[in-house]
A and B are shown apart, each in its own frame.
Chain A
Amino acid sequence: MAPPSNRRPGFSRRAQYGLFLGYVVAVAGLVVALLLLAIAIMDPRGFAAIKGGALDATTPVTSGGRSVARFFGGIGGAVGDYFRAGSQNARLREELEAVRRELNRVKAAEAENRRLTRLLGLARETPDEVTLARIVGSSFESPRRLATLSAGSSAGVAVGQPVRSPEGLIGRVIEVGRWAARVLLVTDGSSNVPVRMIRDGTPAIAVGRGDGTIELRTLEVGENPFRRGDILVTSGIGGIFPPNVPVAAVIRLEGDTAIARPIADPARIDFAIVQHAFQPAANAELEAAPPQPIAPPIGAPPPAPGQAAPAAATPAARQRDPRYQPALQQPQPGATVPPR
């Protein structure tokens, strides 16, 4: 039906102008929203102060309810699992017990590994953790996979820091308020984590799919190197995520890629550990620091004996060298090293 030719709400001038003004405001608001969105797309860090403030204002509500939330979490988990794994609950619980025992063994091995690494002088560039925080909520209404963390810049949390749980990697901080932070989970579609397979060190990129699973993309063409049950850990390439944090386990293969499930389920864990970026240089450009000198590329010929820089003499001194980047200087297992 055609609109009536006379759309006036009546003879009142005030009502007519009010209606017209309403549309002017709405359309102007539409344009402003479009501009805001364009800014958000071009510079996701824009409006950090506003969004951080909103995060601070809303997180107490969320974290206050978290004590009641085991209940909600149970319901949410049950609904989510119902289609896939509702009937397998008992089996999963048994598996969990087995995995916990395994985990203890792994922790012991890790401690020993750390001790041996220290003996070798391959100490980490940064101290281990920033803070311990609770995961209090998530964006369950939007296609993004973001979680809210109950610690912010007052606890030392900064944008770009990796977040993990004792089980595995959770994600990376993308927004920070004073008392709360927002985490981009590894299952989000815009999350890319460089990983490698434990079994044979095949490197891959773990890209979230938005539905709680992760897609693994390799550089290799042809044969799919993954098998069901393969565990993937971070490789440390890129310098944000520390190496050897478990990320995902392969659940099925799809053509050239593999679909994996994250090992750390943010819905079931209580505490998350915020860590420093593995190599602060990886986030340096984001903090508008003076440009770092470029490190020598992988496989650069070693300096001739006698000409070695004095800064590289001992491990401790080497770490103070701003160009020192262990992941670049010691190729990770599975990293491609060009022939010399």
Chain B
Amino acid sequence: MSRIAGSSTEVAIRDLRRRFVPFFSTVIAIALALLPVVASAPLVPDLGFLALVTWRLLRPEIWSAQVALGLGLLNDLVTGNPLGQSMLLWTGAFLAFDLIDSRLGFRDYLMDWLIGAGAIIFHTVGAWYIALLMGSDVRFAIILPQMGLGVLAYPVMARIVLALDRWRLMR
């Protein structure tokens, strides 16, 4: 691909790519919950939330908090969570990110990981607590592996998102 767009169509395509790659990559991550896997214990972290958090921490300026509301609704519908669960947890996490952003002067990768880990732990515990309220009386220890894997999956997702971001902004 040449570095200079040759026609207005090409400009439009690049503009669309620049705008919508974060959104659609997150939607695809949400849709991964539709993989025909039947698991007996929760191990896999919530990939949609992971992608969302990674995009948000890498590019704080592309999304405002209300984006998490719509994507959360989509996630609730796709995964079969009680309606409102992801809307609540995801938007809450985004508002917390905004607060953190306003208080921290700078961030580096390790701090991103720390903040992301906090968000993943908050999300997993929140999902567990909502399941508890819904009558699913499971021990807390059962979600620990999922939580740990989620925190460890953050760097992997950061690599993927970084590659996507580079492709998105490529000229």
Contact = CB atoms under 8 A, between A and B. Distances in A.
Interface string B90-104: 011011001000111
Contact of B87 (A36, A41, A79, A182): A36
A318 interface: no
What does DSSP make chain B's interface, helix, strand, loop or mixed?
helix
Contact of A141 (B33, B84, B105, B142): B33
Given A141-B46, A142-B127, A147 B38 contact: yes
Contacts of A3: 102-103
Given A30-B91, A61-B31, A190-B137, A66 B83 contact: no
Given A135-B38, A143-B142, A209-B139, A33 B78 contact: no
Contacts of A265: 40
Interface in B119-168: 127-128, 130-139, 142-143, 146
A151 interface: no
Contacts of A175: 80
B38 A26 contact: no
Given A51-B83, A190-B137, A144 B40 contact: no
A300 interface: no
Contact of A72 (B31, B35, B72, B77): B35
Contacts of B127: 142-143
Interface in B1-58: 31, 33-47
A231 interface: no
B56 to A, nearest CB: 13
B82 A26 contact: no
* Most chain B CB inside 10 Å of its own CB: which residue of A23, A40, A51: A40
Interface size class of B (residues with CB under 8 A): 35 or more
Contacts of A139: 33, 79-81
A267 B45 contact: no
Contacts of B33: 139-141
Contacts of A247: none
Interface of A: 1-4, 7, 19, 22-23, 25-27, 29-30, 32-37, 39-41, 44, 46-47, 50-51, 54-55, 58, 61-63, 65-66, 68-69, 72-73, 76, 79-80, 135-148, 175, 182, 187-190, 207-212, 265-267
15 contacts: A3-B102, A25-B66, A26-B68, A26-B95, A30-B69, A32-B84, A37-B83, A37-B88, A40-B85, A61-B34, A66-B36, A69-B35, A142-B127, A210-B138, A267-B40
